[in-house]
Amino acid sequence: MPKVLCFGSVNVDDVFVVPHIVLTGETISSSEYNVHPGGKGANQSVALAKAGVETHHAGRIGKDGVWVSELMQSHGVKTELLTVDEKLPNGRAIIQVSAATNDNAIVLFPGTNHAITLEDADKAICAFEKGDWVVLQNEINLDAANKVLADAAKKGLVVVANPAPCPSDYVQKVDLSHVDLLVLNASEAASIAGQISTSDASKPASDSELDIGTHAAHHLLQSLPNLKLVVVTLGGDGAVACLRKATNSAELVTYHALALQGCKLVDTTGAGDTFVGFFIASLVKSLSGPVSRTLSDILTDVDVVKLALKMGTTAGGMACEKAGAMPSIPVWADVEKRSAL
C-alpha cells in the first residue's frame, strides 16, 4: 500500500470561554480555559493514521509543541520528519468562545509553521517514492509548500491539496499545476475558480452550496488540465465529487454524497479534516487490492470515488458527535460499520 506524507501545520490551541467576545479596551474574565492540539496538518495526519494508512507528518514544531507530536504518535502517525525548532515557539491559536452565542474570535500566530525551510521540504520528499501520496494544506510558508508541490510531482507522488484557509490571492502564490486532487469547501472552490477566471458567462443554477460547489469544481477541472479530481465538502449537505470520464477526459462526471444521517451534533471542530483523511485513505486502500490498479484507474472509477465519499462523509459526521478535533476522529472499523447502516 502506498505511504502518505502529510506536510503541514501543527498548532497549540488556547481556548478561553468568555461571556462575550472582548471589546476594545475591555478586560473580562474567562469561565473556562483549555489547551488543545490543533493545526489542519496535524488533524489530517491523525485522521489518515486512524483510517489505517501509513502516515508520516513533516513540518516544524517548537519545543512547546512536542507534546502534540507525541499525541500524534500515540494515534499512529510517524513523526520522524517533524523537526523541533530550538529557538522559535510553536504555532498557536488564541481562541475566544462566547458562552452567550457560541461565536468565536481567533488570533493566529504561525510560529514554526511559517519557519519551515526548503531543506525540510527536500528531506521529506526524498523519503518517498513514485506512487506514494502527499497532502498539503495552506497553513505553512509558501516557499516550502511550492517546493513540496513541485518536487513531489516531479518524483511521481500523487499530490493532494486542501487549500484552507484560502486567501483571495491563493492562485497567484501557489502553483496548482502540480496538483492531482483538490479537496475544499464550497466557498474555497468558488474563490479559487474566480481567481482563475473572472468570467461570469456561466453561473451556478442557484445559490445553494451544492450548485456553487459543483459549478466551481467543473470550472477548476476545465481550467487545470493536470487536475484529475475535485471534491467539494458541503457541511450538512454532504460532499460532491467531479471527475474526468475514463473514456473522454473532457467529459466530466459528478456524484453527490449525502451527509451522515442521524448525526447527533456536538462540535464540528475537525470534521473537515476528518473527511479529508478518510476520503484519501479510502482511495489509497483501493490501490492495494488483488487487482493492480493505477491512479488513473481509481480517479476515473465512479464506484471507487463514491466509496471514498461515503467513508469521508460518515467519518466527518461521526467526528461532529464528540468534542474536540483529534479526540473526535473515529477509527476505520467504526466508520465502516456506521456507513453500512
For residue range 119-155, list pLDDT tens digits in order. 999 999 999 999 999 999 999 999 999 999 999 999 9
Q: Is 236 marked within a binding site?
A: yes
Q: Look at residue 81 and tell me whether its pLDDT is greater than 70.
A: yes
What confidence score (pLDDT) does residue 106 get? 87
Q: Scanning the structure block, which residue is given the C-alpha cell 490543533?
A: 38
Q: Is 65 marked within a binding site?
A: no
Q: Is 134 marked within a binding site?
A: no
The arrangement of strands across the sheet holding 133-136 comes to: 78-85, 55-62, 4-7, 133-136, 158-161, 181-185, 229-233, 239-245, 248-257
Clarify whether 297 is annotated catalytic: no
Q: Is 234 marked within a binding site?
A: yes
In this prediction, what percent of the chain has a pLDDT beyond 90?
75
Q: Look at residue 198 and tell me whether its pLDDT is greater than 90.
A: no
What confidence score (pLDDT) does residue 295 get? 79
What confidence score (pLDDT) does residue 202 get? 56
Q: Look at residue 78 and tell me whether its pLDDT is greater than 80.
A: yes
Q: 201 pLDDT band (50/70/90 cuts)?
A: very low
How far is the C-alpha of 37 from the C-alpha of 67, rounded, in Å? 9
For residues 308-336, give the mean pLDDT.
93
What confidence score (pLDDT) does residue 199 get? 57
Domain boundaries, the chain: 4-9+39-90+112-339
What confidence score (pLDDT) does residue 300 get? 80
- Higher pLDDT residue, 340 or 145? 145
Q: Look at residue 207 and tell me whether its pLDDT is greater than 80.
A: no
DSSP 186-200: HHHHHHHHHHH----
For residues 261-265, give the mean pLDDT.
87
How far is the C-alpha of 208 from the C-alpha of 81, rounded, in Å? 41
**307 phi/psi in degrees, rounded to 5:** -65, -40
Q: Highest-confidence range of 158-162, 209-213, 297-301, by mean pLDDT?
A: 158-162
pLDDT digits (tens, 9 = 90+) for 210-224: 888 899 999 999 999
Q: Is 319 marked within a binding site?
A: yes
How far is the C-alpha of 11 from the C-alpha of 112, rounded, in Å? 9
Q: Which ranges constitute the DSSP H helices of the chain?
A: 40-50, 66-74, 118-126, 142-155, 170-173, 186-196, 209-223, 271-286, 295-299, 302-319, 332-339
Q: Is 42 marked within a binding site?
A: yes
Q: Is 209 marked within a binding site?
A: no
Q: Scanning the structure block, which residue is given the C-alpha cell 501545520?
A: 9
Q: Look at residue 200 and tell me whether its pLDDT is greater than 70.
A: no
Q: Look at residue 249 and tell me whether its pLDDT is greater than 80.
A: no
pLDDT digits (tens, 9 = 90+) for 21-51: 999 999 999 999 999 999 999 999 999 999 9
Q: Look at residue 284 and tell me whether its pLDDT is greater than 50.
A: yes
Q: Is 235 marked within a binding site?
A: yes
In residues, how long is the chain? 341
DSSP 83-124: EEESSSPPEEEEEEEETTT--EEEEEE-GGGG---HHHHHHH
Give CA 161 to chain center in angstroms.
7
Largest CA distance in the chain: 65
Q: Is 324 marked within a binding site?
A: yes
Is 188 in contact with 164 (CB distance < 8 Å)? yes
Take residue 222 and report the three cell numbers written for it.
476545465
- Compute the C-alpha angle 202/208/213, nearest 5°: 60
Which of 85, 120, 132, 273 does the annotation list as catalytic?
Answer: 273
Q: 4-9+39-90+112-339: what CATH class?
A: alpha beta
What confidence score (pLDDT) does residue 153 get? 96
Take residue 153 and report the three cell numbers written for it.
510531482
- The mean of the pLDDT values for the chain is 92
* Single pTM value for the model: 0.93
